[in-house]
Amino acid sequence: MRTKRVKQAYEAIHESNLIMTSPQFIKADLPIILEVGSGKGKFITELAKFNPEYHYVAFEKDINVCYRILEKQTELMLPNLTIVQDDANALLSYFEPKTVSKIYLNFSDPWPKKRHHKRRLTFETYLKMYETILITGGELEFRSDFEPLYLDSLEYLLSSGFEVFWANTQCEEREAVSEYEEKKRKESPIYGFKAKLK
């Protein structure tokens, strides 16, 4: 999805002490919950607001939508939220092994063309990174409005260290809902699964 350019995004992000833009390990006294690809941040900021017993990390590469997360972070003053502006390929530079309790993948780019499948956030190369940073028994939760991605992702998991314990082709709303899900829920079914690291 193409995002609108925000004129002040670069300056605001690089002047803020609320956003990480270069690799360093994230430290937190609370269990860490990570969302890879946070979009405008409605989902992750709502979770952080209502669940102060967890430390949330919004990981987003697009600087323009990352700015929108920063706006919400500033407005809500969430001490339990860290924003990272970087590509998902860099995850291992921000999290030490076995430090993340749960990972959310919400409506990730489906990369429908077969030659682009390696870019999917559920492809085996990413699953291996998740296996590294998740604690034993840690969870991976996925949602999408694109059924082929949902089905392919379940296939990818078969050869991974994850075990699916819940899957649904008609997912109901959770306590927090992203802007994208609010829109797509009116147009199509929402597919999802939860998997646990063995």
Catalytic residue (one of 62, 109, 145, 152) = 109
Instruction: Summarize pLDDT for 119-162 with one digit per residue, the tens.
Output: 999 999 999 999 999 999 999 999 999 999 999 999 999 999 99
Separation in Å, CA 190 to CA 105, 114, 170: 13, 22, 5
Strands (E), the chain: 19-20, 32-36, 55-60, 81-85, 100-106, 134-144, 162-168, 191-197
* Whole-number pLDDT of residue 3: 58
Instruction: Summarize pLDDT for 56-66 with one digit per residue, the tens.
Output: 999 999 888 88
Q: What is the mean pLDDT of residues 62-88?
A: 91
Length of the chain: 198
Other residues' Cβ atoms within 10 Å of the Cβ of residue 124: 13
86 is catalytic: no
User: Sign of torsion, CA 167 177 46 65?
Assistant: positive
Strand partners, 56: 33, 81
Share of the chain above pLDDT 70, in %: 94
Q: Are the C-beta atoms of 21 and 45 separated by less than 8 Å? A: no
What are the chain's domains? 9-197 (3.40.50.150)
- pTM for the model stands at 0.93
* Whole-number pLDDT of residue 5: 67
62/5 Cα distance (integer angstroms): 10
